[in-house]
Amino acid sequence: MDFELTDEQRLLQDTVRRFVDERILPNAVENDINHHLDLDAIQGMAELGILGIVIPEEYGGAGLDFVCEALACEEIERGEAAFRTLISVHVGLNSLALLKYGSEEQKQRWLVPQASGEKLACFGLTEPAAGSDVAAMKTTARREDDSYVLNGSKNWISYANVADHALVFAKTDPSAEHKGISAFVVERGMPGFTTLDTEHKLGIWAGSTGELFFENVEVPAENMIGEEGQGFEIAMYGLDQGRFTVAAGGVGVIRACLERSVEYARERETFGQPIGKYQFVQDMISEMVLGYETSKLLVMQAAWMKDQGLRNTRETSLAKWHATESAFRAAHLAIQVHGAYGYSAEYGIERYFRNARAPIIYEGTTQIHKMMQAEHALGFRNLNGRGGDVSPLCSWAPALASVNRPKASLSSGR
């Protein structure tokens, strides 16, 4: 078992770390307070290749592995959650879905400019009445000659008001539930397609969140990704990719809170000694250490499986659940360590607390992930969707082999 990073991975980690220290952190508090989206920082991310980090070089990407993506997300969210969110929607949810399901012409048209950062992309799945229950979506796509006419809306869409391309999911067969969903690339400027910023959010003030509206939007049939009715499969694949970056970003939040808290606990004195000497403060620091290392191990387990080409829905789900909950806990503890200063915007600790709340909801709520883990363990859900493939470290999985055998195998044995 090798925990050593390669020279390429170390270089990527160091490069992104410097970028965060020099370009993101110096302005992070001010941008957050002013609700300012720093497009120059996004351009810097594009120049570093982060907006196409795991996209093959032949499509304009950096061609790096998923360990590199995890390391980059950790560093970026150590600075500002809004920019890691961009990696999630632009790379994970949108670009990787195009890479897997798009035709060669579609990849050249949309993926190549996205991988270079020339164009930004978002992911239009969530609706006012359809969050965890994807099949409840109301947006429709009606076929008319060589086009599909889209009507409906999406909300809580990261970078909705900034993205050039939106991967949008709509019902082509409203009676078929999740089997009636299809995926389309909708481009900014199409008649009837409008966007609007979402205001008065709890956190991620320095980011972009908004709504998508479709009023008789004529989308060429050639903009359909995959086949008609394949949208649910594409959406679930995209979520596997996106929530991986959410988990990795959560690791960055924990680390930021840990580093800041350790520094403060060494310097701040009460009753003649640093507060880090007190056991209650040490208890809080130790919780952050545990949260950081367990979360990072789960993220790297998922990254290893992704790099091996193994299905990792279960492992990514576990990493996302644990890392986001641990990040919120770490931010809570960091405020406690800093006392009143942690509550002040001046120190920026409360920013991590506010920003860490949303990831517990999006890309699968904690409750959804708990349900997934329990159903995998109980055998009510096939392990990673096929024949019991899980991380080699998961020793309990073989016990479910008979439960997870394909139905055809079970019937043939009767």
Q: pLDDT tens digits, residue range 260-312?
A: 999 999 999 999 999 999 999 999 999 999 999 999 999 999 999 999 999 99
CB–CB of 276/282 below 8 Å?
A: yes
355 close to 81: Cβ distance less than 8 angstroms: yes
How many C-beta neighbours within 10 Å does residue 50 have? 29
Report whether pLDDT(392) > 90: no
CATH of 236-412, one of 3.30.1300.30, 1.20.140.10, 2.40.420.20, 1.20.1250.10: 1.20.140.10
Distance CA 45, CA 9 (A): 17
For the chain, give the mean pLDDT: 94
Q: Residue 257: pLDDT above 80?
A: yes
What are the pLDDT digits (tens) for 99-131?
999 999 999 999 999 999 999 999 999 999 998
pLDDT recorded at residue 409: 35
How far apart are the C-alpha atoms of 38 and 32, rounded to whole Å? 10
Average pLDDT estimate for 227-251 = 97
- In the chain, residues under CATH classification 1.10.540.10 are 7-120
pLDDT at 398 over 80: no
Check whether domain 122-232 has CATH 3.50.80.10, yes or no = no
The whole-number pLDDT of residue 57 equals 98
Stretch 234-243: mean pLDDT, rounded? Answer: 96
Answer whether 120's CB lies under 8 Å from 88's CB. Answer: no
Q: Which residues contact 212 (CB under 8 A, 6 or more apart)?
A: 122, 124, 153, 154, 155, 157, 160, 166, 168, 186, 193, 194, 195
Q: What is the pLDDT of residue 89?
A: 98
Numbered ranges of CATH 1.20.140.10 in the chain: 236-412
Band the pLDDT of 408: cuts 50, 70, 90.
very low
Between CA 159 and CA 301 the distance in angstroms is 29
Position with higher pLDDT, 402 vs 298: 298
Reported as a single tens digit per residue, the pLDDT across 179-228 is 999 999 999 999 999 999 999 999 999 999 999 999 999 999 999 999 99
Cα 264 to chain centroid distance, Å, stands at 30
The single-letter code of the amino acid at 58 is E
Residue 414 has pLDDT above 70, yes or no: no
| Residues belonging to the active site | 363
Residue-by-residue DSSP string for 269-314: EETTEEGGGSHHHHHHHHHHHHHHHHHHHHHHHHHHHHHTT---HH
Spatial contact of 115 and 165, defined as CB atoms under 8 Å apart: no
Residue 2: pLDDT over 80: yes
Q: In the chain, list all ranges with CATH 2.40.110.10.
A: 122-232
Contacts of 348 (CB under 8 A, 6+ apart): 28, 29, 32
pLDDT above 70 as % of the chain? 95
DSSP H or E segment with residue 140: strand 140-144
Q: Which CATH superfamily is domain 7-120 in?
A: Acyl-CoA dehydrogenase/oxidase, N-terminal domain (1.10.540.10)
User: What local confidence, expressed as pLDDT, does residue 411 receive?
Assistant: 32
Residue 394: per-residue pLDDT: 82
What lies within 8 Å, CB to CB, of 110 at 6+ separation is 98, 102, 119, 121, 165, 185
pLDDT band at 403 (very low <50, low <70, confident <90, very high): low
C-alpha closest to that of 333 among 294, 296, 293, 280: 280
pLDDT of residue 384: 81
The pLDDT of residue 214: 98
